[in-house]
A = this chain, B = another copy of it.
């Protein structure tokens, strides 16, 4: 028997079934290889209806809540491990982001449904992880971090109100499910890496040590529009010139303040009015920076604000900063991380601890229940794109590590 196909022994996860169910799930919203399962769309809801049938076939008690969270609970258990991820996609997304973790959860629940002596297995597909309305909306709601007022205000980029989409999806008036830490002993999520590290280093499994926190500062430069031919250089208040100097200085300063895990990006740059013969009157950049350590984020943020203060008024250009978003870092449970490492070794997979640079539903649960994530390699680091992929062997290997991890938790009767 080939190591890369079918169950290796009785009671092992059926990796053929993993692949088949990934394909089945991705019938919903597929167009020319890209996935269009944005939250609360027809395809997203049809996919959840299909998943609900799969959960029910395993004897789970299934609820679709008011924000689209689909939860299957083991009715025989008072305490359970929660397994899952999300089944929505970005517009024109790939076939594994979210779907992989949901299918691993489903097939692990099938494989191990009678393995737990005291613990059951609950499964979940969270709603709107990709933030069609709000980032990680479903898990934020599940973790009690969203009010009804937040939901009343939520809108998509196309200006569709969450409440209208919720009603159109038939979810208006439904209760929102909440995490019950008395029941849920742990949350385990598998995901594609969405980055190039595992592939670049040839490691099979990433054991997430923390999901980075993220902060955003919009820095604005206010100058004056003048004719670029007739206004002497000394009389200008050039917003773009101030921006170039500021951005070059920020990018020069951050490396010394950062940790080896830190990343930062200036991804949005705007200059107005935007004509070759007009001195720019306005400029704007958005600086985004991430780390698993709040102290590092504080240090980077202070350096940015200090540079704003020093730059303000230079060359007649006003410089201001506005905080434009924040996600707190979330540390994963070290006991669960150790369990994943042991499971990987058992299966014969190499593993490495690494931060997650992207946000995940696990971030919302980590403060309330022991939480862990495992990554499988992403080919070329691609995601959020039809080209997103993971080799068949890596998908199967990841499923075995994931299932073995859950088997160990069940065998121990909880978190050891």
Contacts and interface: CB of A to CB of B under 8 A. Distances in A.
Contacts of A241: 251, 266
Interface string A231-257: 111010010110011011001000100
Contacts of A231: 195-196, 263, 357, 381
A381 B265 contact: no
Given A227-B358, A248-B245, A358-B229, A265 B277 contact: yes
A126 to B, nearest CB: 19
Interface string A204-237: 0000000010101000000000111111110100
Contacts of A57: none
Contacts of A248: 244-245, 247-248
A266 B233 CA distance: 12
A3 interface: no
Task: Give the contact-size bracket for chain A.
Answer: 35 or more
Contacts of A235: 196, 200
A278 interface: yes
A300 to B, nearest CB: 13
Contact of A247 (B244, B275, B286, B325): B244
A197 interface: yes
A383 to B, nearest CB: 6
A280 interface: yes
A227 B267 contact: no
Contacts of A227: 194-195, 357-358, 381, 383-384
Contacts of A245: 248, 251
Contact of A359 (B229, B244, B275, B283): B229
A230 B279 contact: no
Contacts of A129: none
Contact of A278 (B228, B244, B263, B267): B267
B263 A268 contact: no
A202 interface: no
A397 interface: no
A74 interface: no
Given A244-B248, A288-B276, A197 B267 contact: no
Given A267-B275, A280-B267, A212 B240 contact: no
A366 to B, nearest CB: 17
Given A240-B269, A244-B251, A251-B244, A229 B263 contact: yes
A264 B236 CA distance: 11
Interface of A: 193-197, 200, 212, 214, 216, 226-233, 235, 238, 240-241, 244-245, 247-248, 251, 255, 262-271, 274-280, 283, 286, 288, 290, 325, 356-359, 381, 383-384
